[in-house]
A and B are shown apart, each in its own frame.
Chain A
């Protein structure tokens, strides 16, 4: 039960003033600009855009600054801002095959058309702290090849030719939108993917890891992981045709999973899919694994009772803004609630005490 509390305005104002001062930190240290965060904390910016569900690097950087680097708080700010924007419409589905690829690796095929492109990756670094970064140095310069990478086709296309991997038939259905209608179960795959792409990275990672360790194991390989920019096109009613309205960087992960076949499906490889705003590959791989685990029913697999197979458990607990909202509200004033609990416990103790006395007397 919620009861309004009054008072405390002065204390709250003072708390917010102090928050602002603490946010700035030591004024002998130069203040960080939003552009600095956008450029140099780009992976944090990407996470805030992905889980905030709004692609706008400047806004995400501003949110990170305001939130003092607390990314969930920053995501909260972005989600709140998003609700103030009118929706102009929906884009055409982006064409990830036409992506300007900056990174593209396959764990299943060594030699593949388009090649393995490592891109700006932490992979193969030694994870040793680089103390040179603590000193100011010259800006590093990346090497360049004479010619750029051209069109890089999807890996799953090669397996498709042999019929060894399940098809992903195209459609133009309008997908459900959980930002417009409440998320209800059963959720189809399109709705699950929308929930997963904005889901908390840590939660998604943990669930994905659980499938690897044996809770609904589905033997995932990264068939392909690609990162790069795609154009976003939208049909403009007043123009009568589609135009490019911008460009977004995405991470796409397709897993290839062993599948022995079922009553309805032949033995073949099945697929899990991850697509996330920004360079966010841990999240995209996790998303693909969880997506695949949630497909047990349509593929006729056994429900082994694993958390990652339970759509209700996954979808209703993956949103960090819903989770943090409910979790953190318990620190706000609950005095009346607690007062009644207190009364109850006192009463129980009194009656228990009376009983003890009675038993002792007997």
Chain B
């Protein structure tokens, strides 16, 4: 679900549609845009405090075959939340393998590549500072 939440907004829907026709479903909770209060910890490890909110879109649905799917995605895209919930539901069906290969696999590869690229750029800026000898013993 994390992959689905963090994916670029139109990505999941496009990958899902490439896997074939979408199954029939009913809404358990129609897509809604809201906010989640993000918390941090004092000093990184201490008591929690409220840092600020982020936008999140969520929904829940039930396939005609009975499987339930939940979608939680960052941002304000209702189609993205719908696609995420469908993927979540399909992972409980016989189509799981296909969906894993067609949607989750590409998302994971894209995310890994994106993170690795930034980590490599960061590593290229690693610096060694030398303290110059100041003349005293």
Contact = CB atoms under 8 A, between A and B. Distances in A.
A277 B52 contact: yes
A89 B44 contact: no
Nearest to B33: A85
Given A90-B50, A175-B49, A277-B51, A170 B41 contact: yes
A148 B116 contact: yes
B16 to A, nearest CB: 19
B6 A247 contact: yes
B55 interface: yes
B44 A193 contact: no
Given A54-B54, A54-B55, A197-B52, A91 B36 contact: yes
A50 B55 contact: no
A246 B54 CA distance: 9
Nearest to A276: B51
B44 A96 contact: yes
A116 B127 contact: yes
B54 A190 contact: no
Contact of A243 (B1, B34, B75, B115): B1
Contacts of A245: 2, 5, 36, 54, 56, 72-74
A213 interface: no
A21 B53 CA distance: 33
Q: Which residue, B40, B58, B75, has most C-beta atoms of chain A within 10 A?
A: B40
Contact of B45 (A100, A170, A191): A170
Contacts of A119: 122, 125
Given A91-B36, A243-B5, A53 B53 contact: yes
Given A90-B36, A117-B125, A194-B50, A102 B118 contact: yes
A117 B6 CA distance: 25
A85 B74 contact: no
Contact of A173 (B36, B47, B126): B47
A154 B56 contact: no
Contacts of B122: 101-103, 117, 119, 148-149, 228
Interface string A86-105: 11111111101100111100
A93 B41 contact: yes
B121 A144 contact: yes
Interface in A146-173: 146-150, 154, 156, 168-173
Interface of A: 49-50, 53-56, 58-59, 82, 85-94, 96-97, 100-103, 110, 115-121, 142-150, 154, 156, 168-179, 189-191, 193-194, 197-198, 228-229, 231-232, 234, 236, 238-239, 243-248, 250, 252, 254, 271, 273, 275, 277
Interface of B: 1-2, 5-6, 32-56, 58, 60, 70, 72-76, 115-129, 131
Given A58-B76, A110-B129, A277-B51, 17 more contacts: A55-B52, A56-B75, A82-B35, A85-B35, A92-B39, A103-B122, A110-B131, A117-B125, A118-B127, A149-B126, A172-B48, A173-B47, A174-B48, A234-B36, A244-B1, A245-B73, A247-B6
